[in-house]
Amino acid sequence: MLIEKVENNLNKIIANLKKDTFIYDLLIAYQLPKAAISRLKKGDYNLSNISNEIIWKKKLLFHRVTD
């Protein structure tokens, strides 16, 4: 993974920030497998029962804070 590619991907996320897809866009920016991210979106990999939280075993803990 080239740092320049990751940096470019992150700049694209910042330019087109979407609250609903931010975490998935971030995972794509770091070049995690798209199939795994799709399964995470569907809930197959999400171990959390809380609606605004994602737990991906040994990879990610994300908790969306609402205003």
| 5-34 confidence digits (pLDDT tens) | 989 999 999 999 998 899 999 999 999 999
Q: Percent of the chain having pLDDT more than 70? A: 97
Q: Are 13 and 30 in contact (CB under 8 A)?
A: no
Whole-prediction pTM: 0.84
Look over the chain and give the mean of its residue pLDDT values, rounded to a whole number: 92
Question: Residue 8 has which token pair?
Answer: 């470019």
Q: Is the dihedral of CA 54, 21, 5, 35 positive or negative?
A: positive
> Residues 41-63: what's their mean pLDDT?
94
